[in-house]
Amino acid sequence: MEFAQIATVAGKEFWDRIRNRWVLAVALVFTAFALSIAYFGAAQQGTVGFRSIEVTIASLVSLVIYLIPLIALVLGFDAIVGERERGSLDLLLSMPITRVELLLGKYLGLAGALAFSTVAGFGLVGLVLSAQLDLAALFHYFGFMLSSVLLGCAFLSLAVMLSVFAADRTRASGLAIAMWFFFVLIFDLLLLGALVVSGGQWGGEVMPYLLLLNPADVFRILNIFALEDVRTLYGLATVFPPALARSDLLGLVMAAWIALPLVIAAWRFRK
Amino acid sequence: MIVARGVHKHYGAIHAVDGVDLDVRAGELFGLIGHNGAGKSTMFKMMLGLIPVTAGEIRIDGAMVAGHGGANGDFRAVRRKIGYLPENVVLYDNLTGLETLQFFARLKGVSQADNHALLERVGLTHAARRRVREYSKGMRQRLGFAQALLGKPRILFLDEPTTGLDPEAIRGFYAILRRLKGEGVTMVITSHILAEIQERVDRLAIMAAGKVQACGTVQALREQMDLPLWFSVRVAPEDFEAVRAALGHLPVGAIEAHDDHIAVQCRREAKMAVIAALATLDGKVRDLGVHEPSLEDVFFGFSD
């Protein structure tokens, strides 16, 4: 594997997103939402202004869990199928580059753009809030940003996998939307439904493990378990054993969610 | 230089390429022609190593690019020797012409030093810093050609290279090909415009139904096809009958009278006899033209 080839493709993908202001737009969206949540999150209760990092992160997690998977899927769904459909894939593959290098280059460039906009968007808010945060709070906020990047990378990996399997861009976009609905809206409902229907008899013990089958849930658990107040607030500790809720373990699960779809995509793309 | 042996490509029950043998010699300009769906694009992609063969093998400079077990040897070294201009080349709209060459030069691992010279060679110096989205179809094609020439490739694959080019640009394009040929570059070219390539290729292969129906020089294929020649004999209308009479004893085909000339069809072996018979007409023949069958005639003869 030649890293120069990967870096060339990744660099092009990254700078394309910088030049067409995609990174700027997404970063601004993140900044605007994060600032709004930090300062006006409690407006319904009649208070305005920054309250605590715990409440802010809990609210941001609820936002990010919808927003980042959607942005990542939209960003990556046509990574390969788009090149194929436009007719530029053959030219790229006639160069001294392997299919795996091309795939990795595409992924890393897009992941870089997504990570950069995420860190820039939320980082700016972190800077604004820094005067009101102690070191521990800043640490939690940094953890939230890092896990947001991981969440984006996981869904981007799924999107790139889709883009390898899909026959055309239309189908790829449909599959990306379906994937967003499944992981963000339906998955938890299905688990809850199974619990309720079985009167709590079925699935109770395996529930924590089933939650790991959804990168959005892994992200939620990562953030919620890091903050004691929020953990209690969500009542998640009753369902999720603390032994399993170690951030290093959950980080590994997230890494698996990034790597596995890419491995499958590489396998399919090489065929 | 390029050797294909027993190459098959099957898509389910469809045999896109069906037992093709080809030899493209070093330094020659080789044409690959055929109807849409004849298998030439598939053959092209297999020669480039873009798609695997179902059976058989293809070698470039001795290195297998497609065959049992896939490519072997240093595929990057082979790819660096190759330039490829796809049909309807698609480049990146958001890059400028110069950035396009920079990107592909980096991918190819070749020097950036020639980029400006290449843009000049294809007549795009004035548009080097304009985005590709502002380019006309012909300009994109020329930029695609410049991309194919990056790194001074020893082998060029040109798929319908003159699509979208105006007549002047087409002439310029073939002038570049002539210079490249002089430098010993091997070129494989496909085109639907047979009149354009018939005088320019050294040899060509005619593909139909996934097979090579014929392969050789244009002249060899004409002779192999044994198509008749046409004489165009310019005589005054009152001398038409004299011409008919002079040719009456020869094995000629159709004789068609037009306003100011007679068109005479004859077999190649009767060519000299016809000329000799016309010479006996003692000044009645004002002009004489001999028309070889066109590549189009040869193509339809082999492919139908």
Residue A110 above 70 pLDDT?
yes
Which of chain A's residues have a Cβ under 8 Å away from the Cβ of B106? 4, 8
Picking from B72, B22, B63, the residue whose alpha carbon sits closest to that of residue B42 is B22
* Residue-wise DSSP of B263-295: EEEE-GGGHHHHHHHHHTTTT---EEEEEPPPH
Check B86 against A93: CB less than 8 A apart. Answer: no
- Phi and psi at residue B226, to the nearest 5°: 55, 45
Domain boundaries, chain A: 3-270
Between residues B159 and A224, the one the model is more confident about: B159
Between residues B139 and A40, the one the model is more confident about: B139
Residue A203 above 70 pLDDT?
no
Between residues A208 and B4, the one the model is more confident about: B4
pLDDT of res. B304: 66
Residue A153 above 80 pLDDT?
yes
Residue A202 above 70 pLDDT?
no
User: Rounded to 10 degrees, what is the CA torsion of B44, B49, B54, B57?
Assistant: 90
Which of chain A's residues have a Cβ under 8 Å away from the Cβ of B94? 16, 19-20
Q: Is the dihedral of CA B264, B270, B271, B275 positive or negative?
A: negative
Residues 85-114 of B with CB under 8 A from A: 86, 88-92, 94, 103-104, 106-109
Q: Is the dihedral of CA A237, A243, A248, A253 positive or negative?
A: negative
Distance, in Å, from the CA atom of A131 to the CA atom of A122, rounded to the nearest integer, reads 15
pLDDT of res. B61: 87
User: Is residue A46 less than 8 Å (CB to CB) from chain B?
Assistant: no
pLDDT tens-place string over residues B218-275: 888 888 877 888 889 898 888 888 888 888 888 888 888 888 888 888 888 888 888 8
Which structure tokens are listed for B5?
């042996």
Picking from B177, B175, B199, the residue whose alpha carbon sits closest to that of residue B186 is B177
User: Which of B100, B107, B160 has the most A C-beta neighbours within 10 Å, making it the best mutation to test the interface with A?
Assistant: B107
User: Is residue A255 less than 8 Å (CB to CB) from chain B?
Assistant: no
pLDDT of res. B293: 80
Residue A242 above 80 pLDDT?
no
pLDDT of res. A195: 79
Chain B residue closest in CA terms to A89: B90
Domain boundaries, chain B: 227-303
User: Which of A16, A21, A95, A106 has the most B C-beta neighbours within 10 Å, making it the best mutation to test the interface with B?
Assistant: A95
Which of chain B's residues have a Cβ under 8 Å away from the Cβ of A92? 107
Residue A237 above 70 pLDDT?
no
Residue B283 above 90 pLDDT?
no
Q: How many CB pairs under 8 A join A and B?
A: 56
Mean pLDDT computed over A6-20: 95
User: Is residue B79 less than 8 Å (CB to CB) from chain A?
Assistant: yes
Residue A26 above 80 pLDDT?
yes
pLDDT band at A233 (very low <50, low <70, confident <90, very high): low
CB contact at 8 A, B178 and B202: no
Mean pLDDT computed over B268-289: 85
Check A91 against B90: CB less than 8 A apart. Answer: yes
Of B45, B79, B106, the CB nearest to A8: B106
pLDDT tens-place string over residues B43-91: 989 999 888 899 999 999 888 887 776 655 578 888 999 999 998 889 9
Mean pLDDT, chain B, rounded, equals 88
Which of chain A's residues have a Cβ under 8 Å away from the Cβ of B49? 94
* Pairing of β B82-85 and β B155-159: parallel
User: Is residue B75 less than 8 Å (CB to CB) from chain A?
Assistant: yes
Distance, in Å, from the CA atom of A159 to the CA atom of A70, rounded to the nearest integer, reads 10
The whole-angstrom distance between A167's CA and the closest CA on chain B is: 16
User: A126-140, A209-223, A253-267 — which one is most confidently predicted on average?
Assistant: A253-267
Residue A97 above 80 pLDDT?
yes
Mean pLDDT computed over B86-101: 92
User: A107-121, A235-249, B257-271 — which one is most confidently predicted on average?
Assistant: A107-121
In CATH, what number does B227-303 get? 3.30.70.980
Of B77, B94, B104, the CB nearest to A19: B94
Distance, in Å, from the CA atom of A4 to the CA atom of B173, rounded to the nearest integer, reads 33
Between residues B120 and A231, the one the model is more confident about: B120
pLDDT of res. B259: 82
Q: Which amino acid is at B57?
A: E
Hey, which residues does B60 pair with through a beta bridge?
B2, B63
Q: Give the per-residue SS3 of A214-229.
A: CHHHHHHHHHHHHCHH
Of B45, B90, B108, the CB nearest to A96: B108
pLDDT of res. A238: 63
pLDDT band at B96 (very low <50, low <70, confident <90, very high): very high
Q: Does the ipTM surpass 0.90?
A: no
Residue A266 above 70 pLDDT?
yes
Residue A239 above 70 pLDDT?
no
User: Is residue A86 less than 8 Å (CB to CB) from chain B?
Assistant: yes
Check A96 against B90: CB less than 8 A apart. Answer: no
User: Is residue A228 less than 8 Å (CB to CB) from chain B?
Assistant: no
pLDDT band at B1 (very low <50, low <70, confident <90, very high): confident
- How many CB atoms neighbour CB B62 within 10 A? 9
The whole-angstrom distance between B185's CA and the closest CA on chain A is: 18
Of B82, B86, B92, the CB nearest to A90: B86
Residue A166 above 60 pLDDT?
yes
Distance, in Å, from the CA atom of A42 to the CA atom of A162, rounded to the nearest integer, reads 39
Query: Which element (helix H / strand E) includes B30?
Result: strand B29-34
Chain A residue closest in CA terms to B150: A95
Residue A46 above 80 pLDDT?
no
pLDDT band at A112 (very low <50, low <70, confident <90, very high): very high
User: Is residue B171 less than 8 Å (CB to CB) from chain A?
Assistant: no
Q: Which amino acid is at A98?
A: T
